[in-house]
Structures are given as structure tokens and as C-alpha cells.
Amino acid sequence: MSYWFLCGKGKVFGFSCGLRRGFNYQQTFSLVNVKLKWVKDKALDAVIAGERDLRAACNLVSILSSAPDFCLPIYHLSRHRGQLGLPHDHKLSTFIRRYPTIFHESYVFDSAGTLVPCFELTLEALNLYHEELGVIRDNMIDLIDRLCKLLMLTKDRILPLQTIDQLKWDLGLPYFYIDNLIPNYADLFSLFRLPDDRIGLKLLSWDDTLAVSQLEKNVARQTEEDLKNNCLAFPIGFTRGFGLKRKCMGWLEEWQKLPYTSPYADASHLDPCTDVSEKRIVGVFHELFHLTIQKKTERKNGSL
């Protein structure tokens, strides 16, 4: 994972210096030319592709479940298209008709007297939705902790709702979490207007018991010396068929031995132009992945 964030377009950032720990790290940058063979993971690609349709269908189920009689005309559903993640050239009604076991189609007249499609949840879909609500209730503490930790990863414990909306599927948040979940935890969260006039969600209190990263929890994977020097290493695995040249592997091994800064710790003292700071950034992404249900998210969601 760390390699994915630190390497790109056939070049790797290498660092040369004496490994002096503490605040006196002095690093210089050099480029090492490396020819990489990019290998696709077809199994993972298939999972990602299939999940897009699943996410869109689940979001539609949530939208319909909040409607009177669990039924809405197509023009009402189209207002939520931006949250569905469907391709722009993909007709919404065509997508919905793919799943007749979830959505039942009928027709109603609009205000102009035109007959338009109307979709409602089938009994099977409604039963599954109620089962989902039960799962959410049973895991509410874990869900709230994930949201708290997400906000704790940010500098001011604030994120725009737009950013959280992009991550809510991965975090397991309900579709209408702002209306149905946040008001129940007024002691933890508050809506906040950002300088650019967007609305953000702010965490009101810091919880030290949550400020422990997944890497710090996995102490069993670390050597006694690494734990003593706080040089925690990230678990790394490569797709089958993907390999690194020996000099890259050597650099990566040295980089893994650098001090680890928790993503929940104040990093204002770190020089952003050093590899110690770079390792801290990788640690933020590593923790973000572990906050998601399936330990993954789309690349566009990585810029918090």
C-alpha cells in the first residue's frame, strides 16, 4: 500500500541520508528511474465494478424507504442521481428496470398530465431494508466510533459533508445519516459552516481511547526493537505478477524502519519535505482504509 502512494509513472522517490532519529532528520531527495510492470488484479476489478451497481441500488432503496408508500416517480429519484455514482450517460430508469425483484414499476400522471414511470420497493426489498436497519442499530457504537475517528484524522476535526458523503458507503453510514443519525449525538457532532460557505461536520470532543491507529494495535507483527524505537512497519503485499527491482525493495525496507507518527498525533513539528513526514501521510491513508467496512475506498476519496 505504501508503495502505491509513494511511486508513480515509473519513478520512485528515494531518500539518502544518515538515519538520525529525533527532530534533526536531514533528508535529500533523489529520483531513481525504475521500469514497472503494472499488473491488473482482475478479481478485485470485478468486485469494484459490481459494487458500483450494488451501491446505487442500495441508495435507491434508502431513498424509496423514506417516501410515502415507498414509491416515487422517476423525476423525484433523478434528483438524487449525483449520490448514486452511475455513469452520466446511463439512464436511471434503465438501471432500475434491471432489478425487478427490488423495484416494482408502475405509472402516474405528472403535473402536466404526462404519464411517467413510478417505482416502489417490492416486499422482499422492504424486508431486507428493515433487516439492514436492525444491523445498523446493533452496531451503532462501532459506527459512531468510525465517524469520530474519521474526523479525528483531520487537523480541526472538521470535514465538509460532501467529503463524508463520498465515504459514507465505505464507512457503513446510513444514506440519510445527517437527518437520522447526527441529531441523536448532539454531544459529539455539530454542523458547522466552513469559510467557503459549505456545511461541515465537526467533532466536539476528543477521545483518547479512540486515538490508537490500527498499526499500533497490531503490535504482534512488529519486532521488539521496532517497538522500542517506534519504527512500526506497514504490512505490504503485491498483486500476483507485480514485482520490484532489488534497489527499490532495499529503499522500501529502509523507509519502513523510519519512526512512525500516529495519524492521530500532532504532526506540526514534522518537516513536510522529509520521508518521516511522508511515512506519516501513508499512515493516515492506512488508518483511513481500516475505518472502512471493506478496508478500501475509491482513489478519488483519498484527498480529505
What secondary structure, in 3-state letters, does the chain show?
CHHHHHEECCEEEEEECCCCCCCCCCCEEEEEECCCCCCCCHHHHHHHHHHHHHHHHHHHHHHHHCCHHHEEEHHHHHHHHHHCCCCCCCCHHHHHCCCCCCEEEEEEECCCCCEEEEEEECHHHHHHHHHHHHHHHHCHHHHHHHHHHHHHCCCCCEEEHHHHHHHHHHHCCCCCHHHHCHHHHCCCEEEEECCCCCEEEEECCCCCCCCCCHHHHCHHHCCHHHHHHCCCCCCCCCCCCCCCCHHHHHHHHHHHCCCCCCCCCCCCCCCCCCHHHHHHHHHHHHHHHHHCCCCCCCHHHHCC
pLDDT in tens, 188-232: 999 999 999 999 999 999 999 999 999 999 876 677 776 667 788
Q: Which residues pair with 201 in a beta bridge?
A: 159, 191
Whether 32 is in a domain gets the answer no
Same domain, 219 and 296: yes
* Other Cβ atoms within 10 Å of 119 Cβ, number: 25
Whether 84 is in a domain gets the answer yes
Nearest-angstrom CA–CA distance, 207 and 266: 14
Same domain, 117 and 171: no
| Per-residue cell: 204 | 466536539
Whether 23 is in a domain gets the answer no
For residue 199, the domain's CATH number is 3.30.420
Q: Which residues pair with 159 in a beta bridge?
A: 201
- Judge whether 233 and 257 are in contact, CB under 8 Å: yes
Same domain, 146 and 183: yes
Nearest-angstrom CA–CA distance, 150 and 304: 10
Q: What is the CA radius of gyration of the chain?
A: 23
Whether 293 is in a domain gets the answer yes
Q: Do strands 7-8 and 158-160 pair parallel, antiparallel, or not at all (unpaired)?
A: unpaired
| Per-residue cell: 97 | 428496470
| Terminal Cα-to-Cα distance of the chain (whole angstroms) | 18
Same domain, 288 and 243: yes
End residue of a domain, out of 121, 156, 175: 121
Same domain, 112 and 180: no
Whether 92 is in a domain gets the answer yes
Same domain, 177 and 229: no
Structurally, the chain folds into a number of domains equal to 3
Whether 246 is in a domain gets the answer yes
Tell which residue, 248, 277, 268, 231, has the closest CA to residue 27: 277
Same domain, 197 and 173: yes
Same domain, 187 and 263: no
Same domain, 280 and 249: yes
Look at residue 6 in the predicted model and tell me its pLDDT.
34
Whether 127 is in a domain gets the answer no
| Per-residue cell: 72 | 416515487
Same domain, 168 and 107: no
End residue of a domain, out of 121, 151, 169: 121
* Other Cβ atoms within 10 Å of 272 Cβ, number: 10
Same domain, 292 and 217: yes
| 199: containing domain | 141-203
Between the alpha carbon of residue 269 and those of residues 22, 80, 82, the distances in Å are 11, 43, 40
For residue 114, the domain's CATH number is 1.10.10
Look at residue 44 in the predicted model and tell me its pLDDT.
78
* Identity of the residue numbered 161: L
Same domain, 59 and 104: yes
Intervals of the chain under pLDDT 70: 1-38, 220-221, 226-228, 241, 243-244, 302-304
End residue of a domain, out of 183, 203, 223: 203
